[in-house]
């Protein structure tokens, strides 16, 4: 029954007219293919959608991808690894520490020798003085 | 037939492990499209695909000699791809926290016109609402990985994989709405 028919139907109560109009207004809001959309949403994504998604991704690779990967892998292999860089740093630090200790040891030794020589001079002078006083 | 191709793949992997560059190239060419599709499903960003796929294959070449079972190459490769994508998404999230106004272009979603159909758009939109781990789970299943392989990848049980997969599918369905308002 259409709106005009329902309005013109003298047997229909006013609230029934109102309900019918409300229903018709609401159903007019639904776009075409409503049932299909509801079913698609309820079923969730289908395999074709997934395939299309993966296909979009695979189209993003520029030609020559494999060559670029192999070149980059070679360049990465030529670069020293983190472990070897760490080992080199540790070896350098050890050599520097050894050099510092060696220089320090040598300078302490030289100072000791100098002090001893000076001390021996003083002792010799003291002996001479004692010998002179004994005369 | 299946076992023949598995044997051929294992041979190819063994040659690549010995440093045979043509075998390495063949592996990259054979898997580049599948890995790129997986990366796109994980990130939803077409501008990440080339870079991340390259990272995956470089890691593959460098770590290939540590692969014990050449027959399990595929699941190993997709594990590398999954971990690379999750690391990237994690870094991106951290960058957003520390540089909220810095690289704003990183937050721009893929324009709707860049994809083919409304269902594809809806799938991308729904995937973007999931956690990266759930996205990876669904993408690995679509990639043809078995529950046992996924369980090995995630270091968990098959039952746990099934439960997580069920939840991920539920979430995906909740967010999946063809012709959603963008």
Distance between CA atoms of B134 and A51, rounded to whole angstroms?
18
Q: Which domains can be identified in chain B, with CATH numbers?
A: 1-108 (1.10.1740.10), 114-182 (1.10.10.10)
* pLDDT for position B37: 94
pTM of the predicted model over 0.90: no
A33 exposure class (CB count in 10 Å sphere: 0-12, 13-18, 19+): exposed
A-chain CB neighbours of B177 within 8 Å are 41
A-chain CB neighbours of B179 within 8 Å are 37
* Cβ(A12)–Cβ(A22) below 8 Å: no
* pLDDT for position A135: 54
Q: What does the block give as tokens for B38? A: 């997986």
A81-85, A111-115, B3-7: which has the minimum mean pLDDT? B3-7
Whether residues B116 and A52 touch (CB distance < 8 A) is answered with yes
* pLDDT for position B118: 80
Residues in chain A: 135
- Give the chain A residue nearest B120 (alpha carbons): A49
What integer is the mean pLDDT of A41-65?
Answer: 89
- Give the chain B residue nearest A62 (alpha carbons): B50
Place of tokens 């998604």: A53
B170 touches chain A (CB under 8 A): no
| Angstroms from A27 CA to nearest CA on chain B | 18
B17 touches chain A (CB under 8 A): no
Closest CA to B42 of B108, B132, B105: B132
* DSSP type of residue B67: -
Q: Is A2 left (phi over 0), alpha (psi -120 to 50) or beta?
A: beta
What integer is the mean pLDDT of B92-100?
Answer: 78
B-chain CB neighbours of A70 within 8 Å are 21, 24-25, 28, 61
* pLDDT for position A31: 85
Per-residue pLDDT of B118-161, as tens digits, reads 888 889 999 999 999 999 999 999 988 999 989 988 888 999 99
Nearest Cβ partner for B54 among A46, A53, A69:
A69
Residue B106 has pLDDT above 60, yes or no: no
* pLDDT for position B14: 94
B166 touches chain A (CB under 8 A): no
* Main-chain dihedrals φ then ψ at residue B59, nearest 5 degrees: -60, -40
* pLDDT for position A77: 73
Per-residue pLDDT of B123-135, as tens digits, reads 999 999 999 999 9
Distance between CA atoms of B111 and B94, rounded to whole angstroms?
23
ipTM, interface predicted TM-score of the complex: 0.80
């Amino acid at each position: 029954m259409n709106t005009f028919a329902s309005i013109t139907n003298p047997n229909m109560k006013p609230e029934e007219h109102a309900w019918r109009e409300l229903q018709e207004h609401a159903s007019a809001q639904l776009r075409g293919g409503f049932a299909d959309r509801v079913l698609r949403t309820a079923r969730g994504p289908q395999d074709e959608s997934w395939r299309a998604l993966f296909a979009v991704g695979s189209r993003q690779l520029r030609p020559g991808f494999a060559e670029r990967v192999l070149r980059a892998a070679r360049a990465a292999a030529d670069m020293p690894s983190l472990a070897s860089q760490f080992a080199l740093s540790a070896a350098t630090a050890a050599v520097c520490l050894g050099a510092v200790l060696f220089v320090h040891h040598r300078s302490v030794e030289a100072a000791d020798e100098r002090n001893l020589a000076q001390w021996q001079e003083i002792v010799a002078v003291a002996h001479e003085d004692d010998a002179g006083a004994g005369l | 037939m299946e076992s023949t191709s598995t044997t051929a793949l294992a041979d190819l992997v063994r040659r690549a492990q010995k440093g045979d560059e043509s075998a390495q190239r063949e592996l990259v060419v054979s898997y580049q499209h599948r890995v790129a599709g997986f990366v796109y499903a994980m990130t939803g960003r077409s501008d990440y695909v080339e870079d991340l796929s390259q990272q995956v294959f470089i890691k593959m070449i460098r770590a290939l000699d540590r692969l014990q079972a050449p027959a399990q190459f595929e699941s190993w490769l997709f594990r590398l791809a999954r971990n690379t994508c999750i690391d990237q998404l994690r870094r991106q999230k951290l960058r957003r926290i520390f540089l909220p106004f810095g690289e704003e272009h990183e937050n721009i979603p893929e324009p709707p016109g860049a994809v083919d159909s409304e269902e594809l758009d809806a799938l991308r939109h729904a995937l973007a609402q999931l956690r990266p781990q759930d996205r990876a789970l669904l993408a690995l299943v679509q990639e043809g990985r078995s529950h046992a392989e996924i369980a090995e990848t995630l270091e968990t049980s098959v039952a746990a994989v099934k439960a997580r997969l069920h939840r991920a599918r539920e979430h995906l369905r909740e967010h999946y709405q063809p012709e959603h308002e963008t």
